[in-house]
Amino acid sequence: MFRQLFNSKVSLKIPLKTKDDIDQSICYLNQAITNSVKEATPTTINSARPAESVCYPIYIKKRIAEKRRLRRIWQNSRHPLDKNAFNHAAQSLKRMLLSYKNKCFSDFTKNLSSTEDTDYSLWKATKYLKRPKQHVPPVRNIDGTWAKSNVEKAASFARHFTEVFKPYPQNPQMDDGEIHDYLDSPFQLSPPIQPFKFSEVKHFVLKTINPKKSPGLDLINGKLLQELPRKGLMLLTFIFNAILRIEYFPSQWKVAQLVVVPKTRKATS
């Protein structure tokens, strides 16, 4: 369904002669993919009941129903006696749930074993407890104070990445005119870049892209690209060749989102 919807939304007869045409074609492709995904994804209605009324035994379900009945009565009457009855039922249900959870945990631990008969259930249950706790190192602000909230930490990392990811400074001794004259010369030493073939783009999308990688800001991951029909791969090939022909790299593909994830057993500064 995704491929059929995409084929109905996309046309290969789009202009790719200017820089604006390339930017608009990328927006056109992104919207076609996202809209096709939304329409092809089935909407599921969760008709399951709450977990407290499904997993618990019948005597607890009756107490839950009784508590809800008393709550409705108190919400309609606002009488102090009705409120006391509702609070008493709520506290009784809370103690009953706590006792039931403790009983379930006790039964679970009694059945654990380190033998092969139970598939080494004891070691699987304690595997999480043996993991080392990951310590998130503190972050300093520019003024030397500690960044406590998430907003302060994000601002500190943003300032740091702004200082790190900077373009190389231009050399004032280098003559820009000489560089432009060389690039505009008709007989350069290196031949021009050959245009992409459809088979090359198809092989790269299907064989090289990792479908498990995180998507970018457009929310298009490798799995969606691999599910594109032939028309989508043809449109990608046209856009790539237009980029080479016009010598313009679209600004939308220059935007990235950095997600800072602390790594274990790594030196932090």
- Give Cβ neighbours of residue 256 (< 8 Å, ≥ 6 apart): 216, 217
| Mean model confidence pLDDT for the chain | 84
Average the pLDDT over 102-124 and give the result.
80
| Position 58, amino acid | I
pLDDT band at 267 (very low <50, low <70, confident <90, very high): low
Nearest-angstrom CA–CA distance, 23 and 251: 8
241-253 residue pLDDT tens: 999 999 899 988 8
Q: Which residue has the higher pLDDT, 124 or 13?
A: 13
Average the pLDDT over 60-82 and give the result.
92
Extents of the domains making up the chain: 1-37+197-254, 52-125, 138-164
Q: Does pLDDT of 75 surpass 70?
A: yes
**Least confident interval from 21-30, 107-116, 207-216:** 107-116
Closest by CA position to 14, among listed 269, 211, 169, 231: 231
Q: Does pLDDT of 220 surpass 50?
A: yes
Tell the burial category of 235 from Cβ atoms under 10 Å away from its Cβ (0-12, 13-18, 19+). buried
Nearest-angstrom CA–CA distance, 152 and 158: 10
116-165 residue pLDDT tens: 777 777 777 777 677 777 667 778 888 888 888 888 888 888 888 888 88
For residues 214 and 258, the answer to whether their CB atoms sit within 8 Å is no
Q: Does pLDDT of 179 surpass 90?
A: no
